[in-house]
Amino acid sequence: MPERFIVTSNPHIATTQTTERIMREVIFALLPATVAAVYFFGWRVLAVIVISMAAAIGTEALLQLALREQIRIKDCSAAVTGLLLALTLPPTVPLWIPACGSIFAIAIAKQVFGGLGTNPFNPALIGRAFLTAAWPSLLNVWKWPHAAQSVVQQLAASDAVSLATEAISSATPLQLAKSMGAQVPLEPMLWGNIAGSLGETSAIALLAGGLYLIIRRIIDWRIPVAYLGTVAVFALIFKQDPLFHLLAGGLLLGAFFMATDYVTSPVTRKGRAIFGIAAGVLTMLFRRFGANPEGVCYSILIMNAFSPMIDRLTVPRIFGEVKRHA
């Protein structure tokens, strides 16, 4: 009888998921957005993505080698960071920009805190925030795809917009709505035929990747649903088009691929819902009252800082636990 019982320490939940497998699934889920970026903005996009991923992987390997640690680039976490960072960049950035962003993201936002699993903030978003602060003029140059010239001309000819076509061609849909009062039609935003960052333009590609991760149970549905639902509700409160805000900017990329990061988001179910709701509120406040029309990056980073507190406040009740009395 004794050999039938195995006494071990927790945790007792076994899973076939590994870090490498999860990261490979995320890369696969980002392929539709990557293909859409190449289709709309040209083959130069691949150079931006490859340089960003190579810089992230190389930086992590060099730092682990310098610290005499085991080189763990096979877990693909650095590759995911480089890919996500590249997809947040405009298609016109110089090729050294993604390299600088990935080096900063891995060295400062990840390895300084001890590497994978110990970083308090999403490394890709930290890299994007660093690039925005260091070279804002290069990070705010936008380009409409050639196939979208009809949309640009339609906006320029509308009664609501009295600016030149060149001014519209250098603005994203969020910038047009905030500064010029013009709303880009929803159909081009759904397919990605608009100006914006590489991986943020095609909503249908991001939705496909996000749903894939949910179906494969790589991410929890609570964060993206709470995030997107809150944005839609606040858009109605501000008397704006909720579909426009859901499709515009980096919301879908952030909701499915950034806010759901295992390390920097809460682990409890209630905590994940709270995280998503709070990020949605911050995003809409930034978009409505901030100087920058976008708000996804800083909203998620702010909520990353609150993740440990949210977990502590939403720990499930243990039945039969004896309460401590002061």
Residue 2 lies in a domain: no
Question: Which of 116-125, 164-173, 291-300, 301-310 is the least confident region?
Answer: 164-173
Instruction: Say yes or no to pLDDT of 46 above 90.
Output: yes
Question: Mean pLDDT, to the nearest integer, of 227-242?
Answer: 95
Whether residues 76 and 135 fall in one domain: yes
- Separation CA 220–CA 228 (nearest Å): 14
Residues 253 and 206: beta-carbon distance below 8 Å: yes
Domain span at residue 299?
219-313
Q: Is 321 exposed, middle or buried (0-12, 13-18, 19+ CB in 10 A)?
A: exposed
Q: What is the DSSP string of 64-90?
A: HHHTTPPP-GGG-HHHHHHHHHHHTS-
Looking at the structure, tell me whether residues 85 and 34 fall in a common domain.
Answer: yes
Instruction: Report how far residue 223's alpha carbon sits from residue 280's, in angstroms, rounded to the nearest whole number.
Output: 10
> Has residue 103 got a pLDDT over 60?
yes
The answer on 252 and 296 residing in a single domain is yes
What local confidence, expressed as pLDDT, does residue 1 receive?
47
Residue 204 covered by a domain? no
Shared domain check, 112 and 84 = yes
C-alpha distances in angstroms, 109 versus 74, 117, 199, 248?
19, 12, 22, 27
- Residue 1, in any domain of the structure: no
Total structural domains within the chain: 3
Q: State pLDDT tens for residues 68-101.
A: 888 888 888 999 999 999 999 999 999 999 999 9
pLDDT digits (tens, 9 = 90+) for 197-213: 998 889 999 999 999 99
Same domain, 244 and 293: yes
- Residue 301 confidence class, pLDDT cut points 50, 70, 90: very high
The position carrying tokens 């870090």 is 19
CA-to-CA distance for 231 and 285, rounded, in angstroms?
A: 10
Return d(Cα 175, Cα 190) in angstroms, integer. 17
pLDDT digit string (tens) for 125-176?
999 999 999 999 899 888 887 766 667 667 766 655 555 566 666 778 888 8
Give a yes or no: residue 10 inside a domain.
Answer: no
- 129 and 228 assigned to the same domain: no
Q: Is residue 189 part of a domain?
A: yes
